[in-house]
Each structure stands twice: as structure tokens, then as C-alpha cells.
Amino acid sequence: MNVSIILILLLFGALATYFAGDKLAKTVAFTVSLAAFAASVVILNQHNAGLSSDFDFQWMTNPDIFLISKVDGLSIAMMLLTTALTAIIILSSFGNQYKNSKAFYALVLFMAFAMVGTFISADGLMYYIFWELALIPIYFIALIWGSGTVEERKKAIVKFFIYTLAGSLFMLAAFVYLFQKAGTLRLNDLYAIQLTADEQFWIFGAFFLAYAIKIPIFPFHTWQANTYQMSPSVGTMLLSGIMLKMGLYSVIRWQLPLAPIAAKTYMDVLLVLSIIGVVYGSIVALKQHNLKKLLAYSSLAHVGLIAAGAYTLSVDGLRGAVLQMLAHGFVVVGLFFAAEIIERRFQTQEIAQMGGIRIQDNKFASMFMIVMLASVALPSTFNFIGEFTLLYSLYNVNIWFAVIAGTTIILGAVYMLKMFQNVMLGEANAKPFPAVTVQESLVFIVIIAVLLFFGLYPKPINDLITPALQEIVAKINFNLKM
């Protein structure tokens, strides 16, 4: 099977969802998402069997632009994350009623199409087009179906759109320059360009602005909390679970191999900014009274640690970053889904108006607790594997980087346990809390199963991603020696 099948499934699935009408939209979208995930598993099996799933053909002749994919362990891992979480996110939305649901679910599938395209692209223009396409559906999802007043939504979502679009324009300028140097934007040809230290500085900076906003890295994070709060839960899950991984993935695939001298020169600055995000996000999360904002700042702390690991330029750092990207995707979707379940029943995001849920629904409290403990990297959960590897990579650079970044474990435990206590424990709330449905429980069961399975047995993912990461680090080290 060719990897383009997944793109075709998601694109035409989005069209089919729209034309299926409002009553059938969510069923068609969920079926398409499952088919895309199944196709991703087939691609994984082909890769493990040593078979290629790439496509490569010329799109334009003047200039030479190719539609070409890069299907290695790294891109397959991100493709699996995208298709799996898309199916989970769509399933999680079944408890809500959306006006014009055919458009809503079509946009979700179109966003998944763009994100998969970003993860597998091996031509700069193709990659940039998919990168920008992913911004369009989330803009409308958040703006039309979000919470808060129309003016509040517009202010938050337009800020997010302008920030991310502006950052992307710097990346486009870098690709234009690289095309003038190489005459092509094919990834392997760009890897072979011999850029001077000054050229690498400007290329690195242009990519950094695009990725630092998307991830986000401190101090480019100011759009995040309000956007997460104002977006519908599906939009928040797409943003936090998958879309921010586009920036982290791109650091590894595009930025570091193309400008390793700049990355090495400014490593300490990059690590300090990333670690500031870890500490800052954790401290601000401690002071939040809104559940979705608390989870947004928690996410900022976690992705800061992931970025720090990637900028160590080591196999351990890159491996820890990818492992934590995957783990964080499932955890953050689980946490925001829990917030969505509570909001459905209590009609609020304010923590002070919650409490006593465990008395009314012990099963939900137990599932929420498992996901929450995974978030703070409890041993035997997937997040522990990623965070341990990341902290080890930072330790190899500078012990103080590891010590300060490690505060995320302590601070994370404080604000997450405090949140759990205020939301779940105490006397029964005056508002009734109906027990979670079978569909809601299924979402949690799948997420918890992934977190526990790979927390106890991460070898399949390590074996999948390590060869690709070793190849990238080898390119980085080769270019550093030139």
C-alpha cells in the first residue's frame, strides 16, 4: 500500500462527510478515521517487513516541484498518532450536538489530512502547503463552534491565526532562499547543501519563529491558553494532541539537519528558553481557576521539556522528544476529554464550581485519576519513559538543565493533585453528575490502555523510531564536521 492512500481516504472522507448530511456526518467521519488508522497500521507492517510505502512524482517542471513522501519510522509514528487520535477525538464528540455538524466533522477530517501530509512530506513546498492547510480548519472549528462570547472567540482565535501565519511566512522565506541555492526543495537535496554559518543562522531563525509559535516555546506562547479555552473540546484536542506536534516534528526533520551549526552555537539559549517554559507553565498552572486553562499551561510545561530534549542534538534527546510527543498526545486528549465530560454535566469550566464528582461517579473519577497520574509521569506509564529519557539527555549536556527541567515532575504533581482534589473529591456537588456513558468510557479505556501498555513495554516504538533518529543525528554530526 502507498502512503498516499491515507491522504486520499481523509480528503475524500471529508467530502463524503459533508455530503452525507448532518444526521450521518459523525458516523461517516468516525468510519473514515478508523479506515485511515487501519491503513496506517498496514503502512507500519510494510515498513517492518522492509517494504517501501513512499510516493515520488514530479508535480511542476518549472520550477521543479515534487510530490514526494518520507515514510520512515519517525513519520510513521506521527502518522499513527494523528490517525489514532483523530478517531478517538471524533468518538469523544458523540456526546455533543453541533449545528451544521456535516461541516464540523468534514473540517476535522480535512485537518487530519493536512497534518498527515505535513508529517510525510519530503519536498519543501509540499510540506509548506500542508503546514498552512492545517491552519484553516482549526480556525473555523474554533471560531464557529467555540465557547465564550463571539467577541471573546474572535479576539483569541484571530490572535492565534495571525501569530501562526506570520511565523509561517518566515519559514516560506527560508524555503525561497534554499530553492535559490539548490534549485530544488527535495528534502535529501536540501540536506546536501553546504550553507555557511551565517546562512544557517538566518535559516535556523526563520524556521524557529514558525516552530516556536506553533509548539509553543516561551515567550511565543501568549496565544495558547485563551485559544485552548475558547475552542470547542474537539478543537482543543486537535491543537494540543496533534497540531503542536507538527512544530516539534519539524524541528527534528527540517530545522536541525538543515542548520546544525546554528543549533549547536545557540544550544544553551534554546535550552534555557525551553526550560523557562517548563517552569513558567507549571507555576502559572498552579494559579489557574479555569480547568481548561490549567490544562493548557500544563501542556506548555510538557512541550517545553520536549523541545529542550530535541535541541540537545543527541539520539537520546530526539528519542525522548518523540516518545513524549506520542505520550503527551494521548494524555492531553484524555485530560481535555475529562474536562469536556465535566462541562457537559456542570455547564462550567470553573474549578470552584466542581467537586464531589467521585461520590456520584467513582468509575469516572478512577479513569480520570489514571490519566492524571500518567500526566505527572508516574512509573509504568508512557509519559515516564519519555520524561526519563528527556531528562537523561539534558543531564548529558548540563546537570543543572536536568535539575531545573525536572521540577516539572514536582510542580506537575502539585497542581495536578490539587486540581484532582478540588474537582473530584469533597462533598457531593449540588448539581447531579450522571454516570459516564459506554461511549465516554470507551474513549478512556483506549487512552489508558495505550498509556499503560507502552509504559510497560516501549520497545516497539523505540525500535520503530530509533533508526530514523540515528540517521538524522548522523546528518547533523556530518554537517557539523564540514
Angstrom distance (rounded) from CA 236 to CA 228: 5
Band of the pLDDT at 372, cuts 50, 70, 90? very high
Please say if the pLDDT value at position 289 is more than 90. no
Bridge partners of residue 60, in order along the sequence: 65
Please say if the pLDDT value at position 152 is more than 80. no
Write phi, then psi, for 121 (nearest 5 degrees). Answer: -70, 140
Angstrom distance (rounded) from CA 397 to CA 416: 29
Please say if the pLDDT value at position 225 is more than 80. no
Write phi, then psi, for 61 (nearest 5 degrees). Answer: -105, -25
Q: Terminus-to-terminus CA distance in the chain, angstroms?
A: 39
Task: Kindly list the domain boundaries of the chain, sorted by start residue.
Answer: 1-257, 266-482
Band of the pLDDT at 326, cuts 50, 70, 90? very high
Least confident of 79-83, 138-142, 217-221: 217-221
pLDDT of residue 184: 84
Band of the pLDDT at 337, cuts 50, 70, 90? very high
Rounded CA Rg of the chain = 21
Read off the pLDDT of residues 434-450 as tens digits, 9 standing for 90 and up: 888 899 899 999 999 99
pLDDT of residue 482: 64
Give the pLDDT mean for 72-77.
93
pLDDT of residue 472: 92
Write phi, then psi, for 246 (nearest 5 degrees). Answer: -60, -40
Residue 313 one-letter amino acid: L
Angstrom distance (rounded) from CA 272 to CA 313: 15
Angstrom distance (rounded) from CA 364 to CA 191: 49
pLDDT of residue 285: 86
pLDDT of residue 5: 92
pLDDT of residue 405: 85
- Nearest residue to 319 (alpha-carbon basis) of 450, 474, 465, 471: 465
pLDDT of residue 35: 95
Higher pLDDT, 79 or 218: 79
Give the pLDDT mean for 35-47.
94
Write phi, then psi, for 62 (nearest 5 degrees). Answer: -145, 90
Bridge partners of residue 121, in order along the sequence: 69
Angstrom distance (rounded) from CA 348 to CA 362: 20
Work out the mean pLDDT of the chain and round it to a whole number.
89
pLDDT of residue 312: 92
Residue with cell string 530514523: 468
pLDDT of residue 316: 92
The Cβ of residue 400 has, within 10 Å, a number of other Cβ atoms equal to 11
> Is residue 356 left, alpha or beta, with left meaning phi > 0 and alpha meaning psi from -120 to 50?
left
Please say if the pLDDT value at position 430 is more than 80. no
Percent of the chain with pLDDT over 70: 99
Give the pLDDT mean for 131-141.
91
Band of the pLDDT at 119, cuts 50, 70, 90? very high
Band of the pLDDT at 150, cuts 50, 70, 90? confident
pLDDT of residue 224: 76
Joined grid coordinates for residue 307: 523541545
Peptide bond into 63 cis (omega under 30): yes
3-state secondary structure the chain: CCCHHHHHHHHHHHHHHHHHCCCCHHHHHHHHHHHHHHHHHHHHHHHHCCCCCCCEEEEEECCEEEEEECCCHHHHHHHHHHHHHHHHHHHHHHHCCCCCHHHHHHHHHHHHHHHHHHHHECEHHHHHHHHHHCHHHHHHHHHHHCCCCHHHHHHHHHHHHHHHHHHHHHHHHHHHHHHHHHCCCEHHHHHCCCCCHHHHHHHHHHHHHHHHHHCCCCCCCCCHHHHHHHCCHHHHHHHHHHHHHHHHHHHHHHHHHHCHHHHHHCHHHHHHHHHHHHHHHHHHHHCCCEHHHHHHHHHHHHHHHHHHHHCCCCHHHHHHHHHHHHHHHHHHHHHHHHHHHHHHHHCCCEHHHCCCHHHHCHHHHHHHHHHHHHHCCCCCCHHHHHHHHHHHHHHHHCHHHHHHHCHHHHHHHHHHHHHHHHHHCCCCCCCCCCCCCHHHHHHHHHHHHHHHHHHHCCHHHHHHHHHHHHHHHHHHHHHHHC
pLDDT of residue 290: 86
